[in-house]
Amino acid sequence: MKKLNKMNLVENLKWRYATKKFDPQKKVSEQDLKYLKEAVQLSVSSYGLQLYKVLIVKDVSIREQLREVSWGQSQVTDASHLFVFCNFSEQKNEYVDDYINNIVETQNIPISAVEGYGEFIKENLSKKTTSEWQSWSKKQTYLSLANLLNACAELKIDACPMEGFDSAAYNEILGLDKKGLNASVIATVGYRSEQDETQYRKKVRKALEELFETV
């Protein structure tokens, strides 16, 4: 049995940081990009529904527009790729139906085996108000964002999660409203510039004794 190196993840997380300046000349390969996509695809989500979509923006002119509504942050245009995590803005039972059908097809089981689970999900989600739905669905995107950041660290690809942007403006520029989507959180992915001084700073985190409490 292959011995698991339990320190790899921790060491990779120590290596990563929120990159402030990217090298615009360095691009993430298609092979590595596929790996990042798969990592996001395998993210956990409530009920397993994955009520979000991820846009990968490569178009230069669009990214210039997005930079203007992202506090002018250079990562948006200089990074190799821009990931825009979008939550589903409307609550629809068809999302649950699609998920149940996916289970049936993937696991090759009769729908009778899981239709009760589908009704259970619908009943619980129907209790959410519009504002509760919006808050809950946005949280789902952060779960998949975490997988992206961890996968980037494993491949020694730099990334920067970002909340400093105008969500409504993103929705307009990318036509998300028409698709029933809302830009929730973004992440820029690529390779750090040697001029990014942030990479040389010590990582600041709370001590384990302060962060954890056993009861």
Which pLDDT tens digit goes with each residue over 111-131?
999 999 999 999 999 999 999
What would the pLDDT profile of 18-59 be if each residue is shown by its tens digit? 999 999 999 999 999 999 999 999 999 999 999 999 999 999
Domain assignment present for residue 154? The answer is yes
Its domain, for residue 79, covers 7-91+128-211
Q: Tell me the pLDDT band of 203, cut-offs 50, 70 and 90.
A: very high
Per-residue pLDDT at 7: 62
Residues 184-199: pLDDT tens digits?
999 999 999 999 999 9
CATH number, domain containing residue 15:
3.40.109.10
Note whether residue 109 is domain-resident: no
> How many structural domains are present in the chain?
1
Q: Is the pLDDT of residue 201 over 80?
A: yes
Tell me what the pLDDT averaged over the chain comes to: 95
In a domain, 104, yes or no: no
Q: How far are the Cα atoms of 28, 30, 48 from residue 61, in angstroms, in the given order?
A: 19, 21, 35
Q: CA-CA distance, 4 to 7, in Å (whole number)?
A: 9
208/26 Cα distance (integer angstroms): 36
- Asked whether residue 192 is domain-assigned, the answer is yes
- In the block, tokens 């950041």 appear at 149
Q: Is the pLDDT of residue 74 over 90?
A: yes
Q: Which residues pair with 160 in a beta bridge?
A: 188
214 phi/psi in degrees, rounded to 5? -100, 130
> How many other C-beta atoms lie within 10 A of the C-beta of residue 91?
19
What does DSSP say about strands 52-57 and 158-162: parallel, antiparallel, or unpaired? Answer: unpaired
Mean pLDDT value across residues 130-153: 97
Is 98 domain-assigned?
no
For helices 130-155 and 30-41, the axis angle rounded to 10 degrees is: 140
In a domain, 59, yes or no: yes
Let me know if residue 1 belongs to a domain.
no
As given in the structure block, the two tokens for residue 111 are 């729908």
Dihedral pair phi/psi, residue 185, rounded to 5°:
-155, 150
pLDDT tens digits for 54-70?
999 999 999 999 999 99
Rounded to whole angstroms, the Cα distance separating 50 from 65 reads: 28
In a domain, 37, yes or no: yes
CA 116 to CA 113: how far, in whole Å? Answer: 7
